[in-house]
Amino acid sequence: MDLAPVPPGKDSPLKSPVIEVEAVDIVSADVQGTVNAENPAKIKEQSSQSEYETDDGVSGDEWESESLYEDALQFIRDEQLRDGMVPDACTLDEALAFRKRLHDIGKAAFVEETIGRNTVTAKKLCTAFGVIPPPFFEGAPDEAYHPLLAIAISREFSRRQKLPQYNTVEDAVKLMKESKNIIVLTGAGISTSLGIPDFRSKDTGLYAKLEHLGLSDPQEVFDIHVFREDPTIFYSIAKDILPTEKKYSPTHGFIRLLQDKGKLLTNYTQNIDNIEANAGIFPEKIVQCHGSFATATCVKCQYKVSGDEIFEDIKKGVVPECVSCKKLIAEEALKPQGMKRKRSSNSVQKDRKDDDGDSDEDDYEIPTPGPDITFFGEDLPDEFGHRLIHHDRERADLVIVIGTSLKVAPVAEVPGVLPRDVPQIYISRTPVSHTGFDIDLLGDCDVVVSELCRRAGWDLKHDMIPSGESVEVESVEGYDSRHVFNVVGA
């Protein structure tokens, strides 16, 4: 969900736990219950409610109904509409026209103009906003599709719209050269050239390699509850997401170059590898949205250590042990027998009836330092929302999103929080459809940024950029602002 500007007096909407979602699935709580087919105005009422509403006054049955509708949602990409892959769906041209009309006249008027006047069915109109009605709706009267349509309309209306004046690679270069306060939002894609896997790439992404762990969902590796229960799962893969050397990619170098030119406002990074430090990006210019391996904190006693102190254990796939807790255990071992007690790693004293009197402390599970990263289920650091809303939001004059599919909330909501007139450039291997970037530059991040720098006349020096590299740029058919970068020679 791309959030509208924060109303005066409202807290930041970004102060919420990290959750893994399809970003297009983030639906606001503004669709309640079912829709009266005899009264299209009911859709107007639902689709015009504030997305900042809470569940106050909403019955449990209504929320259950809403959840069922959201769980049933299936999504269609514009490419599928363009290619006619979904029967009885809108064409891409029709969909684009409906979307524009919605943004031009507002939700209530749009519903009256379409559903209210029976100019199009709710079932078909859902597809204009990327929602495919689930199969179990087949054969139902059209009014049964109204709740799905209300959700689809709300999603679309909250989505940031592309600025029509920015389309070409030359536009992107000009924006880079003229902007003075650039926000750079980065993800795992900027580190893959260093041998660190991203998370979602088919076959090569980290999640694709985790089936052997036997988890119901690979994302459980980064779930805080799973970590507390069994840290061995996390540490079995942690070595794969840490750099082995103090290197950085050309894309990290690009961010450093923006800093050196006095253009970098803030680098919001979702990465936990701390490679930005290797590139020389100043700490005051970085917000590590999900924390990093730079430090680690004991899950029990909160003793903090440098990440370097547990680095060797991590690289071996070994669960590190808290040195502070080990010291306390050693001191306790010197106490008289009657003063000892066995404790579990979660600080709960063992029941006396389970204690066989053995004084051996080998069964004591020494707590482990957990890296100071934000696991799924934990809140992002206060710095994230506070800096974005109170410092950067009114200063930014360009946003560059690099190497992320924006599928983790609340970071995924950042593009929609910023003023809609601030241009936004997206750089990654594949496009996203849940927010309207102004220019999509597709390809390997390192290749794209190095070519942008060449065209800007900037000297981006990095030993991973081949001397004399030649890059071909082709526009994607059907899109004025989508371009693919490919290396054709060096």
Sign of CA dihedral 330, 331, 336, 338: negative
Q: What is the pLDDT of residues 4-28, one digit of tens each?
A: 333 333 444 455 554 444 433 333 3
Q: What is the pLDDT of residues 160-200, one digit of tens each?
A: 888 999 999 999 999 999 999 999 999 988 988 888 765 55
Of the two residues 420 and 382, the one the predictor is more confident about is 420
Annotation: binding site: 298, 301, 322, 325
Q: Do 388 and 453 belong to one domain?
A: yes
Alpha-carbon span 91 to 89, nearest angstrom: 6
Percentage of residues of the chain with pLDDT beyond 90: 34
Average pLDDT over residues 275-284: 92
Average pLDDT over residues 401-424: 85
Q: Do 139 and 251 belong to one domain?
A: no
Among 108, 130, 157, identify where a domain stops.
157
State yes or no: cis peptide before 7, omega within 30 of 0: no
Say what the pLDDT of residue 440 is: 97
Q: Do 88 and 180 belong to one domain?
A: no
pTM as predicted: 0.65
Task: Decide if 341 is inside a domain.
Answer: no
Angle subtended at Cα 28 by Cα 26 and Cα 29, rounded to the nearest 5 degrees: 130
- Which region, left, alpha or beta, applies to residue 203 given φ > 0 means left and ψ of -120 to 50 means alpha? left
- Residues with catalytic roles: 290
Task: Decide if 451 is inside a domain.
Answer: yes
Lowest mean pLDDT among 48-62, 241-255, 384-398: 48-62
Q: What's the CA dihedral at 137, 142, 144, 149 to 10 degrees?
A: 100
Q: Which two tokens stand for residue 326?
A: 């080990």
Task: Decide if 220 is inside a domain.
Answer: no
Among 100, 129, 157, identify where a domain stops.
157
Total structural domains within the chain: 2
Q: Do 383 and 479 belong to one domain?
A: yes
Annotation: binding site for Zn(2+): 298, 301, 322, 325
Of the two residues 440 and 39, the one the predictor is more confident about is 440
List the domain range (segments joined by +) for residue 83.
64-157
What CATH number is attached to the domain comprising 281? 3.40.50.1220
Among 99, 127, 157, identify where a domain stops.
157
Q: Do 151 and 176 belong to one domain?
A: no
Task: Decide if 335 is inside a domain.
Answer: no
Task: Decide if 31 is inside a domain.
Answer: no
Q: Do 71 and 146 belong to one domain?
A: yes
Q: Do 132 and 102 belong to one domain?
A: yes
Task: Decide if 446 is inside a domain.
Answer: yes
* Separation in Å, CA 378 to CA 20, 101, 117, 227, 369: 12, 39, 47, 12, 17
Q: Do 265 and 147 belong to one domain?
A: no
Alpha-carbon span 189 to 201, nearest angstrom: 10
Q: Which residues contact 346 (CB under 8 A, 6 or more apart)?
A: 228, 300
323 three-class SS: helix
Residue type, 413: E
Q: What is the pLDDT of residues 310-359, one digit of tens each?
A: 777 777 777 777 878 877 777 777 777 655 555 444 443 333 233 444 43
Q: Do 177 and 150 belong to one domain?
A: no
Q: Do 113 and 191 belong to one domain?
A: no
Q: Do 260 and 383 belong to one domain?
A: yes
Task: Decide if 365 is inside a domain.
Answer: no
Of the two residues 295 and 263, the one the predictor is more confident about is 263
Q: Do 384 and 473 belong to one domain?
A: yes
Task: Decide if 164 is inside a domain.
Answer: no
* Separation in Å, CA 488 to CA 62, 301, 396, 434, 462: 57, 55, 35, 31, 19
Of the two residues 295 and 18, the one the predictor is more confident about is 295
